[in-house]
Amino acid sequence: MTASPYRVPRRLLDDLAVGGGGPEAAKLLVDVRRSRTSQLIGDLVAETRATGHPDADVAAAAGRELTRIARLAPEAVDGVLAHPSVGAWARQESLLLRRPGGGALARPATLATVVVAAAVHAGVDAAVPVADQRGGDFPLPSLGVAHLPPTGGEVEVVAGGGGTSLRRGGGEVFVPEDPHQDVPGWRGLRRIDLGAVGFLLDPWAHVHLPAELRAGADAAWPLDVEQWCDRLAGGWAVLTERHPEVAAEVAAAVGVLTPLGAAGGPTSVTLADGFGCVFLSLPVDDRAAAETLAHELQHAKLTVVLDLFPLVASDPGRLFYAPWRDDARPLLGVLHGTYAHLGVTAFWRRERGLPGDRAEVEFIRWRIATLSAAGTLLAEADLTPMGRFFVERIAETLRGWGTDEVSADAVAAAEAMSREHRATWLAANAGVATGSHA
């Protein structure tokens, strides 16, 4: 269970810079983030020992058991380490342990839940030491939640035909062969299967989330799974029929969706440390579902590119205009939005051609917006050489699309939308100290 260095071929780097890369690049990014998670877990175990954290013994034993399972069933362990909430948890714990006073808030013994999940996936017996669990809920990332006696000690994993038993403190819970079904004592994560791709619906119920996301995730449940399945199936059909490369990248990189309530209107989010998960409210229609996945895929890709290469040398301490936001954004935020909206622009470019459709206006609108934001970035000295390479390639791509044949009416409508957004933004942000292109 050691992290491996990754080299990105120049060909893939160039493809990533222009928003593509295909499944080859997507799979590489999955491997990079899983490697980071593995490294974080190893560091976490070492840090708990070095600092004398109360969970040190439990974390060390869990780490040893995870290493043992990885030797027996490496694919099972890789799958759990790639689960978005595991990567986010490992990063959160690592930051807490390094923060003055943060050790009191850290719960490195939670590693036991990762180990038990790996054992269940692998179908191997295991004995995993655990700390006390509040309320008896024992979450297994990528699988579901077992209700076991809330005492400490060990969770015993007993593999058998048709499923796996979890035992602790005199209690026993059976995890069925299809773990996404509910049985007494077990609540499985729901899964939506769409033929060539499937998505787990994960509420992140036992992982810390920013307050707004936590409220949104909680508000979505209980969930109408059939409605979500229908909407996602429609969106997936749009991607596979008209955006096959995006569909292939989504299939390789995104395996988890977290439904959000939509009290404030449609929304979607990708967490920097939760690669592989898209947080989203129920899309309004099939095309919106497809656009959301195409958009958030780009954010996800850039989060891992940033693991490999710093794209911004330093925060200039100023805020900037982003043509898709109502608020002023830091430089890195503008970069993220620019990369994501390159994907949005490409999506609408491919959607053109349906009679009476809005796709042409959307394409022009987002091409104008994204090229403007790229200009903002290139005017700043705080991009690294790699960051400048990425933004220059984005700008070149957008300028190339400027030769596409479009109607005068669509251009006029898109330009009017751009002017209106900028005027509204300037009025709302009059007192904000911004960069030169704000």
How much is the mean pLDDT over the chain? Answer: 93
Claim to verify: residue 113 and residue 49 sit in the same structural domain? yes
Closest CA to 125 of 73, 83, 176, 169: 73
Inform me whether the pLDDT recorded for 252 exceeds 50.
Answer: yes
118 located within any domain:
yes
* Phi-psi sector, 58: left (phi>0), alpha (psi -120 to 50), beta: alpha
Is 2 part of a structural domain of the chain? no
Distance between CA atoms of residues 365 and 347, nearest Å: 12
Final residue in a domain of this structure, among 155, 188, 221: 188
pLDDT in tens, 180-205: 999 999 999 999 999 889 999 999 98
Residue closest to 111 by CA, chosen among 89, 78, 95: 89
- Helices 22-50 and 111-122: crossing angle, nearest 10°? 130
Q: What mean pLDDT comes out for the span 248-265?
A: 93
| Total domains in the fold of the chain | 3
pLDDT number for residue 433? 53
pLDDT range class, residue 132, cuts 50, 70, 90:
low
Asked which of 272, 307, 342 is the last residue of a domain, the reply is 307
Same domain as 204, residue 85 = no
Q: Are 44 and 89 in contact (CB under 8 A)?
A: no
Stronger pLDDT, 161 or 31, i.e. the higher one: 31
Q: Which residue has the tokens 């996404």?
A: 180
Residue 222: both structure tokens together: 């209980």
Q: Strand order in 163-168's β-sheet? A: 126-130, 153-160, 163-168, 171-176
* 276-303 mean pLDDT: 98
Q: Sort strands 198-201 and 190-193 into parallel, antiparallel or unpaired.
A: antiparallel
Asked, for residue 115, whether it belongs to a domain, the answer is: yes
The answer to whether residue 357 is domain-embedded is: yes
Q: Are residues 235 and 160 in the same domain?
A: no
In total, the chain counts a number of residues equal to 438
Q: Is the pLDDT of residue 3 over 60?
A: no
**Residue 438 predicted with pLDDT over 80:** no
Percentage, residues of the chain above pLDDT 70: 96
- CA dihedral sign, ordered 128, 129, 134, 136: positive
Residue with tokens 């040398």: 313
Q: Which of 324, 347, 353, 349 is nearest to 402 (CA)?
A: 349
202 and 115 inside one domain: no
337 occurs within a structural domain = yes
- Do 280 and 407 fall within a single domain? no
pLDDT of residue 386: 97
Answer yes or no: is pLDDT of 227 > 70: yes
Segment 404-427 shows an average pLDDT of: 95
The predicted structure's pLDDT at residue 2: 43
The verdict on 316 and 182 lying in the same domain is: no
Note whether residue 1 is domain-resident: no
Return phi, psi of residue 278, to 5°. -115, 125
Q: Which of 156, 188, 220 finishes a domain?
A: 188
> How many other CB atoms are found less than 10 A from the CB of residue 327?
12
Q: Are 319 and 294 within one domain? A: no
Domain membership flag for residue 390: yes
Of 107 and 136, which is predicted with more confidence?
107
Q: 313 and 240: one domain?
A: no
Of residues 137 and 199, the one with the higher pLDDT is 199
Under DSSP, is residue 248 helix (H, G, I), strand (E, B) or coil? helix
More confident residue, 134 or 280: 280
Residues 325, 337: contact at Cβ < 8 Å?
yes
Residues 341 and 291 in one domain: no
Q: What is the pLDDT of residue 340?
A: 98
**Per-residue confidence at 1, pLDDT binned at 50, 70, 90?**
very low
CB under 8 Å to 320, separation ≥6 — which residues?
328, 329, 330, 331, 334, 376, 434, 435, 437, 438
**Do 200 and 292 fall into the same domain?**
yes
Q: Is the pLDDT of residue 232 over 60?
A: yes
Mean pLDDT of the region 294-304: 98
Same domain? For 258 and 368 the reply is no
Is residue 151 located within the same domain as residue 216?
A: no
Q: Which domain holds residue 376?
A: 309-438
